Structure 1
Amino acid sequence: MPQIRCRFCHESVDAGEIRAHEAEHLKPRPDGQQSEYVTLPPEERAEGDLAGVPRAYVHRKCGAGTGMPEEIIRSYLKDPFLYTAEATYCCGCRRHVPWRECRWVETGEDLETYFRALQAAKPEMRPGPLARLVILLARLFRR
């Protein structure tokens, strides 16, 4: 059976088992956050010093702080279009909330402005029209 690389752990998995395998990564931890998130494979992530890169944010509606894991930071720095949900997990609300509702602890900048600036710096990575349509439809059906 053909092998597919898992988007979470990056291990090779039989194609017929990938859905069940990835579902395990989505199971909630005790804090409500899913066990793992999609990331770029380690060899494709941004390298180098992360000094000056914000790592923690506060959800302005509940006041709770949440830290962002390094593997996610290094993934979005390399591909700022990787996370199309435009939301991030809030440890206080125990759910995903819009970027615009969160501010980086280190800079005070809201996450939406931050991610839009990263995306503007790498327009060549922007998904094509068909991919953007799929993303839009997925957002509409989630509501």
Structure 2
Amino acid sequence: MAQVRCPYCHEYIDRAEFPAHEAAHRKARPDGQQTDYATLPDEDQEQGDLAGVPQVYVHRKCGVATGMPEEIIRSYLKNPYMYMADATFCCGCRKHVPFRDCEWTETGEDLQSYTDKLRAAKPEMKPKGCLGAIAFIGAGLSGVIAAAFC
């Protein structure tokens, strides 16, 4: 039976069982976040020191700071196109909000400008046309950077 690699837990799952498996990862927690979020497998994530990489952002509307988990940071540093919805979770509002409405506490830069710069540095990773977008969706990638430390 054909298997697919889950973008959440990175285990190999029978294709027929994957929809139910993925639904369990995407189930809403009481705080509004999904149970799990897509990341690259550890071996594919950006390696090395994260010194100088912003990790905490503030949603300008509510003023609450949210911490971004290391595995998500390392995933988008390796592939800045991984999270295409350009939204992230706000611990204050308890929902996903646009990158442009949040800024890094370390630099004051908004998350959208930061992400745009990362993407501009790796144009070869940009998904190609509609098929590229379908590949992201078909792989189960939610497109939202959202797991957060509240």
TM-score, reference length from structure 2: 0.86
Is the contact made by 2:88 and 2:97 (CA closer than 8 Å) also made in structure 1? yes
Amino acid at match of 1:71: E
Corresponding residue number in structure 2 for 1:138: none
Distance 1:68 1:52 in 2: 14
Please give the residue correspondences for 1:37-76 in structure 2 after superposition, counting only pairs within 5 Å: 37-76=37-76
Distance 2:23 2:113 in 1: 31
After the TM superposition, which of the residue ranges 27-36 and 14-23 deviates more from structure 2? 27-36
Aligned length: 135
Structure 1 residues 49, 123: CA separation in 2 closer, same or farther (over 3 Å shift)? same
TM-score, reference length from structure 1: 0.90
Amino acid at match of 1:72: I
Structure with bigger RCO (C-alpha 8 Å, 6+ apart): 2
Amino acid at match of 1:48: G
Question: When you count helix as a share of all residues, which structure comes out higher?
Answer: 1
Corresponding residue number in structure 2 for 1:112: 112
Structure 1 segments, 4+ long, off by >2 Å, are: 130-135
Structure 1 residues 85, 79: CA separation in 2 closer, same or farther (over 3 Å shift)? same
Where structure 1 has 5 or more consecutive residues not aligned to the other structure, the ranges are: 136-143
Where structure 2 has 5 or more consecutive residues not aligned to the other structure, the ranges are: 136-150
After the TM superposition, which of the residue ranges 52-61 and 125-134 deviates more from structure 2? 125-134
Distance 2:23 2:93 in 1: 22
Corresponding residue number in structure 1 for 2:78: 78
Amino acid at match of 1:16: A
